[in-house]
Structure 1
Amino acid sequence: MGLSKLQNLYMAVVTEHSKAPHHYGKVEGETISLHNPTCGDVIFLSLKYDEDVISDIAFEGHGCSISVASSSM
């Protein structure tokens, strides 16, 4: 049984974001670390905000393809 078009799209998007993540890096501002002890994924999320509006956001870290892709999105 083949994959549906939606499953193929999901796989393509996850693969694209895991190979070339968007917003990868660090910005000056607040940083939090997120750690999944079950699988070992570690993500550092940094954001800059003006008043109550987020002006820039980025992440660093390592993890599985799904973890990196979801951080990228």
Structure 2
Amino acid sequence: MAKALVGYLGGPTNDQLQQTATMRRRIADLENEVLRLKVENDGLLAALRERVDQVSASDLAEPVSH
């Protein structure tokens, strides 16, 4: 089965090696982007919690003026 995936004779071609390297770089870039977004999201959630904690019951009872 492995021979069918890599090729019956020889190993991976130069194109396959290059594509693999490109995909690994892209995956690393995407993982870094996910990490950055998680950190940003955590900061936004913390800021939102802080604002919610500052809102009093009387603030909620007042109608919003447009």
TM-score by length of 2: 0.31
Greater relative CO (CA pairs within 8 A, separation 6+): 1
TM-score, normalization: structure 1? 0.28
Higher normalized strand content (fraction of residues): 1
